[in-house]
Amino acid sequence: MRFFVDTADTGAIADLAATGLLDGVTTNPSLILKSGRQFLDVVREICALVDGPVSAEVVALDHATMMKEADVLRKIAANVCIKVPLTVDGLKTCKALTSEGTSVNVTLCFSANQALLAAKAGATFISPFVGRLDDNGFDGMELISDIRLIYDNYAFETEILVASVRTPVHVLAAAKIGADVLTAPPAVIHALFNHVLTDKGLAGFEADWQKSGQSIL
């Protein structure tokens, strides 16, 4: 499973990229607002930090304007992936862009039927929001399982990009189901490193090393 980070914080992106674990980045208007910076500047900087797909979202709601915005965004860098909403106009835009060879991430997916439509429209990625489903009394991971089954049944090439990830539990469940990609905030990715026994083991090794009086340098 590939790891994307869901943020517009370029410092956090650079830090994770240095680990070699980062395969791409997703952004959205809310994350751009949180950054306090200009949208195009942020996308340009992120694209220079990572080689993988960088999702940049259109904000228009009609197909014609979405296409105009997408044209601006995809000129920023070769690894820009245009993010569109799962609406009729969004899928029209998806079909038009993917037909031209542009990568498209269809976002705000909350049902398997929606995911089926996105795949038929040629989406590169489908982004089901598991955390938001959980928040509203649904089982987000059940949706991932349903999409995986449907896509495998028909050999759709659209990749499942699990979004709205809240905890390491979501990461593990998505990996077990066989999701292609997962995007999570930096804090969730960093939490994957943590285990009490790792911390305990390191503390023991450090204490014994200090007692030995030795130095590697």
pLDDT, mean over the chain? 97
Domain locations in the chain as residue ranges: 2-212
Contact indicator for 156, 106 with CB cutoff of 8 Å: no
The secondary element (H helix, E strand) that includes residue 98 is helix 88-99
- Classify domain 2-212 by CATH number: 3.20.20.70
pLDDT given for residue 115 in this prediction: 98
pTM (whole model) above 0.85: yes
Tens digits of per-residue pLDDT, 5-14?
A: 999 999 999 9
Predicted confidence band of residue 21 (pLDDT cuts 50, 70, 90): very high
What's 59's DSSP letter?
Answer: -
Supply the pLDDT for residue 98. Answer: 98
Q: Which residues are catalytic?
A: 83
At residue 100, the pLDDT reads: 97
Q: How confident is the model at residue 20 (pLDDT cuts 50, 70, 90)?
A: very high
pLDDT of residue 141: 98
Per-residue pLDDT band at 103 (split at 50, 70, 90): very high
Residues forming beta bridges with residue 83, ordered by sequence position: 57, 105
- The fraction of the chain above a pLDDT of 90, given in percent, is 100
pLDDT at 114: 98
How far apart, in Å, are the Cα atoms of 24 and each of 31, 56, 192, 210? 16, 12, 17, 40
Q: Give the model confidence (pLDDT) of 105-147 as tens digits.
A: 999 999 999 999 999 999 999 999 999 999 999 999 999 999 9
**Which residue in the block uniquely carries the two structure tokens 């992106």?**
13
